[in-house]
Amino acid sequence: MMRTLTRKSSIVLLSIAAAFAGEKERPAFKPGPASSFATRQTISGVTVAAVALRSDAEAEPAFGKVNPYKYGVLPVLVVIQNDSKQTIALDGLKVSFVLPDHDRVEATPAADVKYISGPSAPNVHAGPVPQLPTHVSRSKSPLGEWQIEGRAFAAHMLAPKDSASGFFYFRATWQSGSTLYLTGLREPASGKELFYFEVPLD
């Protein structure tokens, strides 16, 4: 009995060690503070910065050899910096990519991006996003790499003087004059919602 438990414990420890080894192989991605970006907006001490990554050179630090934009997905990096005295809740955050003609594209959940079998060059999408195909396997999809979900924006709360960053993904083509529209940031103590943010992406 003791020998069986020891063997099981060894297997668990080896699994944990392998998981940590895998994490160490994943390079860190640190975009810098929101105040360092040219495309940003500050309201009530909260700064939101955003930048769309299109070229291979822009995408490589975050996504390696796979550039999502080549597969019909525009990744937009968002950095939120809280320089106010209040904690900010982000669990109700909603983000839209707004084209110059005011047409909006809602963000695709990071977990669904791997199912997109988009063209090599993305097309502008107008209207509701079609239902994503479910027959595309993660192992065959170039968008199934860990960076897509691993780099996605995931913060739910932002303490004073703290910041958070991550990507939102849109099935859209970049156009000059596009903006990122964010709502749902609020003060959890009072429930008061902050003003919406409309960050120019040029």
Global pTM reads 0.78
Which stretches of the chain are assigned E, i.e. beta strand? Answer: 40-43, 46-52, 74-82, 88-89, 94-98, 104-106, 157-158, 163-170, 179-183, 197-200
Domain ranges of the chain: 32-200
Residue 52, Cβ neighbours under 10 Å: how many?
Answer: 20
User: Is the CB of residue 64 less than 8 Å from the CB of residue 147?
Assistant: yes
User: Does the domain formed by 32-200 have CATH 3.40.640.10?
Assistant: no
Ordered per-residue pLDDT tens for the chain, 202 residues:
544 434 444 443 333 343 334 444 667 888 999 999 999 999 999 999 999 999 999 999 999 999 999 999 999 999 999 999 999 999 999 999 999 999 999 999 999 999 987 554 444 443 444 344 444 444 568 899 999 999 999 999 999 999 999 999 999 999 999 999 999 999 888 888 988 999 999 8
Number of helical (H) and strand (E) elements in the chain, helices listed first? 4, 10
Q: Which of 151, 169, 160 is nearest to 75 (CA)?
A: 169
Residue 136 has what DSSP assignment? S
**Contacts with 157 (C-beta within 8 Å, 6 or more apart), sequence order:** 87, 88, 89, 90, 91, 188
User: What's the burial of 100, exposed, middle or buried (CB within 10 Å: 0-12/13-18/19+)?
Assistant: exposed
Using DSSP, state whether 18 is helix, strand or coil.
helix
Per-residue confidence (pLDDT) for residue 118, from 0 to 100: 57
